[in-house]
Amino acid sequence: MIRRAMAICLLVLGAAGSLAGAPVRAAEPVAVSVVNASRPTRCAEEDNVYVQLLGAGVGRFVIRAQHPPYISLVQTDSTAPDFTACDMSQDPSFPFTPRTVVLHEDADIRLVGHRFPSFWRPDVVDFSVGGRTEPGLHLVQLIRRRAQGEVEVLVVYPADGYWRVKPLPPSSLPDTAYGSSFLFGPIEESSRPFVAIRRIGFDPATLTFRVDFRDGTRGMLAVASATPEQTLLALTIDPPLAQGRPFAALRSMYVSPAQADVSVAAWRAGESAMAIAPILGVGRVNASSVRFGRVEPSRHNLSAPDLVFEEFATSTSR
* pLDDT for residue 317: 52
Query: How confident is the model over 19-78, as pLDDT tens digits?
Result: 233 344 445 568 999 999 999 999 988 999 999 999 999 999 999 999 999 999 998 888
pLDDT at 25: 46
Phi first, then psi, for residue 282 (nearest 5°) are: -80, 125
How much is the CA Rg of the chain, to the nearest whole Å?
18
Is residue 116 one of the residues assigned to a domain?
A: yes
Indicate whether this model's pTM tops 0.85. Answer: yes
Q: State the Cα–Cα distance between residues 191 and 181, nearest whole angstrom.
A: 17
Whose CA is closest to 267, among 294, 246, 291, 247?
A: 291
The answer to the question of residue 294 being in a domain is yes
Per the domain annotation, does 76 fall within a domain? Answer: yes
Q: Is residue 96 part of a domain?
A: yes
Q: Please write the tens of the pLDDT for every residue from 75-97.
A: 888 888 888 889 888 889 999 99
Number of domains in the chain: 1
pLDDT at 23: 41
pLDDT tens across 216-229, in order? 999 999 999 999 99
Residue 316 in this model has a pLDDT that exceeds 70 = no
Mean pLDDT of the chain: 90
Percentages helix, strand, coil for the chain (3-state, rounded to 5) are 5, 45, 50
Closest CA to 255 of 85, 89, 1: 85
Listed in sequence order, the residues at least 6 apart from 288 whose beta carbon sits closer than 8 Å to its beta carbon are 29, 30, 31, 32, 268, 269, 270, 310, 312
Q: Is residue 67 part of a domain?
A: yes
pLDDT at res. 299: 87
144-196 per-position pLDDT tens digit: 999 889 999 999 999 999 999 999 999 999 999 999 999 999 999 988 999 99
Residue 16: pLDDT band with limits 50, 70, 90: very low
Residues contacting residue 6 through CB under 8 Å, at least 6 positions apart = 264, 276, 295
Residue 70 lies in a domain: yes
- As to burial, measured by CB atoms within 10 angstroms (0-12 exposed, 13-18 middle, 19+ buried), residue 199 is middle
Q: How far apart are CA 189 and CA 102, in angstroms?
A: 32
Out of 76-90, 102-116, 207-221, which region has the weakest mean confidence (pLDDT)?
Answer: 76-90
Q: Is 103 part of any domain?
A: yes
| φ/ψ of residue 18, rounded to 5 | -105, 5
- Containing domain of residue 153, as a range? 2-84+92-313
